[in-house]
Amino acid sequence: MEVDIQLAKNCNADDIFLRFYRWQPYCISLGANQNIEIIDDKKCSLDNIDVVKRPTGGRAILHAEELTYSVVFPINLNYTPSVIYREINFALMKGLEFYNNQLKDAELENLQPDFSSVYKTVEGNTCFATAAKSELKYSGRKLIGSAQRKLGSVVLQHGSILCGIFHKKITEYLKISPDEKLKLKEELDNKTIEIESILQAKVDYTELEKSLVKGFEFHFNTTTQQNF
pLDDT values of the chain reduced to their tens digit, one per residue, 228 residues: 999 999 999 998 888 999 999 999 999 999 999 999 999 999 999 999 999 999 999 999 999 999 999 999 999 878 999 999 999 999 999 999 999 999 999 999 999 989 889 888 999 999 999 999 999 999 999 999 999 999 999 999 999 999 999 999 999 999 999 999 999 999 999 999 999 999 999 999 999 999 999 999 999 998 877 664
For residue 3, give the nearest of 84, 92, 72 by alpha carbon.
Answer: 72
Rounding to the nearest 10 degrees, give the CA dihedral for residues 219, 192, 169, 69: 10
151 in a structural domain: yes
Q: How far apart are alpha carbons 150 and 8 in whole angstroms?
A: 9
228 in a structural domain: no
226 in a structural domain: no
For residue 127, give the nearest of 63, 48, 41 by alpha carbon.
Answer: 63
Number of domains in the chain: 1
225 in a structural domain: no
127 is known as an active-site residue: yes
Describe the crossing of helices 205-220 and 81-99 by its angle, rounded to 10 degrees: 130
In order of 51, 80, 91, 108, the CA distances from 75 in angstroms are 30, 6, 17, 22
179 in a structural domain: yes
Edge-to-edge strand ranges of the sheet holding 50-53: 50-53, 27-30, 61-63
Of the candidates 27, 44, 127, 163, the residue annotated as catalytic is: 127
The alpha carbon dihedral of 1, 114, 39, 190 has a sign of: negative
Q: Identify the CATH number of the domain in which residue 91 sits.
A: 3.30.930.10
99 in a structural domain: yes
Amino acid 200 reads Q
98 in a structural domain: yes
For residue 70, give the nearest of 82, 46, 54, 49 by alpha carbon.
Answer: 54
Asked whether the beta carbons of 94 and 29 are under 8 A apart, the reply is no
154 in a structural domain: yes
What is the domain range of residue 127? 2-220
Global pTM reads 0.95
